[in-house]
A and B are shown apart, each in its own frame.
Chain A
Amino acid sequence: MPREQPTALERFINGILPENPIYRQLLGMCPVLAVTNGMKPAMTMAAATAFVLICANTIVSLIRGLLKPHLRILVFTLTIATFVTIADRFLAAYVYEMSKQLGPYVPLIIVNCLIISRCEICASKQGVGVAVADAFGMSLGFALALASIATVREILGSGTWLGLPVLPAAWPGWGIMVLPPGAFLTLGLLLGIAEWASQRRAAGKRQEGGTR
C-alpha cells in the first residue's frame, strides 16, 4: 500500500524550514552561490525561480495522468524551459540592468535540481492544490535561504543592505565576500550553523525524553 501523501498545508510548511531546499536538501546550489553578492539580484532570482516553480508544478500536476515513466524527466525539463524563457524575456524587457547582471543564471534555472525534484516528488503524484501549495512553500524556503546568504555577503562585503548603507562609512568592505570565494565560505559556515542548531534541538529533545 502506498504511503499516505502529505496534505497541502503540510507541503507548504515543509518547504519553508523542515525540508528547506538549500539548508536541508542541498538542492539548487548554483544560483545560491552565484547571485547572492547582493540582496537585489538574490531577490530577483528568488522571484524568477518562484514563478517557474509554481507554473511548472501546476502544469505537471494537471498532466500527471498522461505522463509516461520513461519520458517523464524530458517533459518536466521542457515545461520548465518554456517558463524560464517567459521569465527571462520578462526580466530583459522590464528590468534590463538586473537581467544583464544575472546573465546566464536565469536560463540556468532550467537545470535547477530543486524544480525537477519538486515536479518528481510532489506534482507528478498529487493534485493541483497540493502542488501549488508545495511550490509556494518551497519558493518561500528558497527565498529565505537566498536572503540569509545575501544579507551576510552584502553587509560584510559592501556595508549595504538592499543598496542602503547599514555599516558606518569607515567599514572597509571585505572584497572577498562579494567575490566567488566569499560565496563558498559563507554558505559553508551558514550550513554549519544550521546543522549545529538542529543538532542542539535534537539533543535537547532526547534529554527531555530521558528525564520524563
Chain B
Amino acid sequence: MDTLATLILIFVGAALINNFVLHYFVGICPFLGVSRRVDTAFGMGCAVTFVISIAALLNWTFTYFVLRPGAPLPAWVWAAAGGDPGTQVDLSVLSYIIYIFVIASSVQLVEMYVRKFFPPLYRSFGVYLPLITTNCAILFACLEIMKQMQDPTKLWGLHEALTLAVGGGIGFTIAISLMAGIREELDLCDVPRPLKGAGIALIVAGIMAMAFMGFTGVDKGVHEALSALLR
C-alpha cells in the first residue's frame, strides 16, 4: 500500500482508535495526577509528545542496528570474532534494559538541553519532565515499535516508528486535556464524598473510553477514502 496512506492509518490508529490512555491504559498515573487544570495538563501532554518522539527515534536506531534479529552490528562483531557467518545473532533479549536506559538518559538530556536553551519552556514544563521517565506511555511506544521490528518481512522504517510515537503522544494530549476540562467543571458539582478525587475521575475516564470506542472501524473508512483519493 502507499506509504502516505500507511502513515496516516498508523497516526489515526495511535491517536484515536487505540488511544494510549483510554484503550491501552498506559500513562494512567499522569492522567489522574496532572489533570486538575487544562493548562498544566496540556503542558504535560506536550512534554510527553516531545520525549516520546525522541525516545522512539533513539530506540528505533538501536533496534534497527543492534537489537533486532539479524541486525547488522552484532552480525559484524560475530563475524569479526571468527564466528560462523551463517548464524543469525539475536540480541532482542537485551531490549528492555537498553530501552529503559535510553529513555532515562534521553529524559535527562532533554531536560538539560531545554533548561540551557529554552528557559521559558523549561519553566513551563516544571517538574513534569523528570517524571516522564516512569511514564509507561514512552516505554509502551518503544515496545510497539519493537514488535514491528521482530519480523524481517514487515520491518518498520524510521518514518513509521516516528508516526506511531507522535500519534500516541497527541492521543495522550487529547485524552488528558479533555479529562482536565471535565475535572475543572467537576469541581463545581456535588460528588458523593467517597468518590471524590480518583474515584470519580476513573468513572469519567470510563465514560470517555466508551466514547472513544466509537472510533472503532474509522480506520477502514479512512483507508477506503485514501485509496480512492490516491488512485
A residues with CB within 8 A of B: 26-27, 29-30, 33-34, 73-74, 77-78, 81-82, 84-85, 88-89, 104, 107-108, 110-111, 113, 116, 176, 179-185, 187-189, 191-193, 195-196, 199
Contact across chains for B23 and A180 when beta carbons are under 8 A apart: yes
The answer, yes or no, to whether B46 is at the interface (CB within 8 Å) is no
Whether B209 lies near A30 (C-beta < 8 A) is no
Q: Name the B residues within 8 Å of A74 (CB-CB).
A: 101, 104
B interface, CB within 8 angstroms of A: 22-29, 32, 93-94, 96-97, 100-101, 104, 133-136, 139-140, 143-144, 147, 192-195, 198-203, 205-207, 209-210, 213
Bound CA span A113–B192, Å: 28
Query: Told that A183-B25, A195-B199 touch, could you supply 8 new A-B pairs with CB distance under 8 A?
Result: A29-B28, A29-B29, A30-B136, A107-B96, A107-B139, A182-B206, A185-B202, A188-B203
Contacts of A182 in B (CB 8 A): 206
What's the Cα separation between A108 and B100 when bound, in Å? 10
B133 touching A176, Cβ below 8 Å = no
Q: Are A192 and B28 in contact (CB under 8 A)?
A: no
Which residues on B sit within 8 Å (CB–CB) of A113? 29, 134
Residue from the list B29, B97, B134, B193 in contact with A78, Cβ < 8 A: B97
Closest chain A residue to B94, Cβ basis: A85
Closest-CB distance, A44 to chain B (whole angstroms): 17
Nearest CB in chain B: distance from A51 CB, A: 15
Q: Which residues of B contact A199 (CB under 8 A)?
A: 193-194
A203, chain B: closest CB distance, angstroms:
11
Give every chain B residue within 8 A of A108 (Cβ-Cβ).
26, 136, 139-140, 143
B140 partner residues in chain A, CB cutoff 8 A: 104, 108
Give the chain B neighbours of A27 by CB distance below 8 A: 29
Q: How far is the CA of A176 from the CA of B206 in the complex (A)?
A: 10
